[in-house]
Amino acid sequence: MTQRLKPQDIFGVNPIAAMPFTEKGEVDYQSFENMIRHQIEAACHGLTLFGIASEFYKLSDEEKTKLAKIFVSTLSPTSLYSCISVTDHSTELAIKRAREYQALGADSLMLLPPFFLQPDNVQIKAHICAVLESVNIPVLVQYAPSETGLPIPPYQMAEIAREHPNVVFKIECNPPVAYAKDLLELMPEAVILNGYAGLYMPDMLCIGGKGVMPGCSFTEVYVEIYRRWTLGERDSAMALHHRLLHYIRPWMESCEYIIQIEKTILKHRGIINSDYCRKPAYSLRSEDFHTIENFVQEFYGNGVVLKQMNLSL
């Protein structure tokens, strides 16, 4: 990226990078780089590191520093915007981390607000605002109450948006549509993306959402849905999304479940070498492997990527 990214430049499909490990539980940096290059080839619009799907909570500071450098250096010559998540619980550390990632060359940041031991909403808002004020690149404020147990009402998000023009929102409450609509009514120019494996992707695009932040093991499917949607082929986009829902809805039973599913798909597709997750982790059942095989065959049969297939709907 030669020009500073603006919030309105954030749109489309922005997957969360998985975290490849060796069978002994060490970070597999070569697989990590291979996975990033695969995302570039999949023609997504951006890529995010250290989201929940990246298992950030199982990484050391030393590993995070090395991964962030690989991440930015691999993406910087491309058209994809890079995003690195700031997950530190203390405001002081979060500010330092945000500035470090900006100095490293990240195009944008994501921010997971503090939730351990239940800080009150005044403290949470102060934390978010402090990080937003510490950098001049876009910051995607992550709202994931199912995972954090932390409610932040839309009016507070709107207040933050009015005060900080570099804010972007990643809304992934379940379901997210009503919350996102309320926020857009209060702040129509707000840039909103949705995570949660893209379960609500068409619904969010319908109300003015700008994109989706799913996992990264079948990025091509989300890219194709988004492509059809932006071309005005909405029935076709929704039909393809409906096919995807058959798989992702049960996989979203828990975070660790879909993290393991996505990593096993990445290994099955030859993108990473191992599907190992650091412990504690979810143990897949025999029926899960059968479902994964069916999924890969349906969307990537005969080794042909989805965007090159003539899918009958």
Q: How far is CA 82 from the centre of its chain?
A: 11
Q: H/E/C letters for each residue in 105-164?
A: CCCEEEECCCCCCCCCHHHHHHHHHHHHHHCCCCEEEEECHHHHCCCCCHHHHHHHHHHC
Q: Which of 38-42, 51-55, 141-145, 184-188 has the lowest mean pLDDT?
A: 141-145
Report whether 161 contacts 129 (CB < 8 A).
Answer: no
- The answer to whether residue 224 scores a pLDDT higher than 90 is yes
* pLDDT value of residue 160: 95
Query: Which pair of tokens denotes residue 172?
Result: 């992934």
Residue 175 preceded by cis peptide, ω within 30: yes
CA atoms within 13 A on the CB side of 194: 27
Rounded to the nearest 10 degrees, what angle do helices 286-300 and 234-251 cross at? Answer: 160
- The whole-chain average pLDDT of the chain stands at 94
Query: Which pair of tokens denotes residue 90?
Result: 């203390």
Residues 252 and 257: their CA atoms lie apart, in Å, by: 7
Residues 127 and 145: their CA atoms lie apart, in Å, by: 17
| pLDDT tens string 166-182 | 999 999 888 999 999 99
In terms of Cβ atoms closer than 10 Å to its own Cβ (0-12, 13-18, 19+), residue 43 is middle
Nearest to 253 by CA among 275, 282, 214: 282
Pairwise pLDDT comparison (311 vs 211), residue with the higher score: 211
- The answer to whether residue 249 scores a pLDDT higher than 70 is yes
- The answer to whether residue 307 scores a pLDDT higher than 90 is no
Nearest to 213 by CA among 225, 196, 191: 196
What percentage of residues in the chain have a pLDDT greater than 70?
95
| pLDDT tens string 16-74 | 999 999 999 999 999 999 999 999 999 999 999 999 999 999 999 999 999 999 999 99
Report whether 168 contacts 108 (CB < 8 A).
Answer: yes
Report whether 104 contacts 73 (CB < 8 A).
Answer: no
Phi-psi region of 198 (alpha: psi -120 to 50; beta: other; left: phi over 0): left
**Band of residue 3 on the pLDDT scale cut at 50, 70, 90:** low
**Band of residue 304 on the pLDDT scale cut at 50, 70, 90:** very low
- The answer to whether residue 305 scores a pLDDT higher than 90 is no
| pLDDT tens string 106-129 | 999 999 999 888 888 899 999 999
Indicate the pairing of strand 139-143 with strand 108-111: parallel
Beta bridge partners of 141: 111, 169
**Owner of token pair 């207040």:** 159
Distance linking the first and last C-alpha atoms of the chain: 37
pTM of the model: 0.94
- The answer to whether residue 302 scores a pLDDT higher than 90 is no
Report whether 168 contacts 140 (CB < 8 A).
Answer: yes
Report whether 62 contacts 29 (CB < 8 A).
Answer: no
* pLDDT value of residue 145: 85
* pLDDT value of residue 254: 92
Nearest to 276 by CA among 287, 286, 264: 264
